[in-house]
Copies of this chain bind each other. A is one copy, B any other.
C-alpha cells in the first residue's frame, strides 16, 4: 500500500501544490499524497498536467472530460480511477443516467473494437476524408 504524505509533512513546493489541489477538489486525494511521498517532482509534473488538461476550460467542458476519464479507467481496469472519476463526474453535474450511458458506450466499443480487429476489416472511413470534404465546402 502506498505511503501517503500528510498535510503536516507537506512543505515548500509540495505545500503550494496541496493548496491548489484543495482549491480544486475540496480535499487532497490519496492519488496526489502518494506521489508526494514517493517523489515531489513527480507530483509537481502530474499536477501541472492536470491543470493543463482537466482544469483548463478548453473546447470540452469538465463534465465531458470526467466521463471520458471514466471510460478510459474502465477500459484500463483501474479500480481507484474508476471510482474517483465516477464520483467526480457526478460532482461536475453528470446524472447517474449519464454514467450508465457512458458504461454502455464503453462496453459497446469493447466488443466493436474486438470485432474490427478479429475480422481484420479494411479501413473505409477516416478523419482525413471528413476534413477533406469540409475543406472543399
Which positions in A face B, CB cutoff 8 Å?
Answer: 1-2, 27, 29-31, 34-35, 38-39, 41-42, 45-46, 48-50, 52-54, 58-60, 64-65, 67-69, 71-88, 90-91, 95-131, 134
A119 to chain B, nearest CB (A): 4
CB distance from A117 to the nearest CB of B (A): 5
Residues in B whose Cβ lies below 8 Å from that of A2: 119-122
Contact, CB under 8 Å: B71 / A113 = no
- Residue pair A116, B78 in contact (C-beta under 8 Å): yes
Contact indicator A108/B109 (Cβ below 8 Å): no
Q: Which residues of B contact A84 (CB under 8 A)?
A: 123, 125-126
| CB <8 Å contact, A30 and B124 | yes
Interface contact A113-B42, CB-CB below 8 Å: no
Known contacts A120-B1, A129-B87; A59 and B105 CB within 8 A of each other: no
Residue from the list B29, B34, B64, B88 in contact with A119, Cβ < 8 A: B34
Which residues of B lie under 8 Å from residue A124 when comparing CB positions?
A: 27, 29-30
Given contacts A111-B110, A114-B74, contact A58 B97 (CB under 8 A): yes
Q: Whole-angstrom distance from the CB of A77 to the nearest CB of chain B? A: 5
> Is there contact, CB below 8 Å, between B52 and A115?
no
Report the minimal beta-carbon distance from A99 to chain B, rounded to whole angstroms.
7
For the complex, give the distance between the alpha carbons of A79 and B125 in Å: 11
